[in-house]
Amino acid sequence: MDMEMIRAVLGWTTVINIAILVLSTIAVICMRGFISKFHGRLFGLDEKDLGRAYFQYIAQYKIAIIVLNIAPYIALRILS
C-alpha cells in the first residue's frame, strides 16, 4: 500500500463515518420519543439517562472520527 492508497482509504472512511454521525444525530433528534421508549424498555433506563447517553454517544463518535480519520488524513495530505 502506498501513501496515495492510504490517503484515499482515510478520506472515504471519513466520509462514511461523518454520514453515519449525521444520520444518527438526525435520528436521535427526529425520532427521540420512539427511540427513548424503545431503549428505555430494552435497557430499563429513564428518559433523562437516555438523553445523556445519546449525547455522550454522539460526542464520543465525533471525537473518534476526528482522531482516527481526519487527523491522519490531514497529516498525510501535509506529507505528500
Amino acid at 72: P
| pTM score | 0.85
- pLDDT computed for residue 76 by the predictor: 93
Confidence of residue 19 (pLDDT cuts 50, 70, 90): very high
The pLDDT of residue 72 is 96
CA 70, 50, 35, 40 dihedral sign is: positive
Closest of 69, 61, 65, 67 to residue 6, by C-alpha:
69
Q: What is the mean pLDDT of residues 8-32?
A: 96
Distance between CA atoms of residues 54 and 72, nearest Å: 27
* 37 or 17, higher pLDDT: 17
At residue 47 the predicted structure's pLDDT band, cuts being 50, 70 and 90, is confident
What is the mean predicted confidence (pLDDT) over 34-60? 91
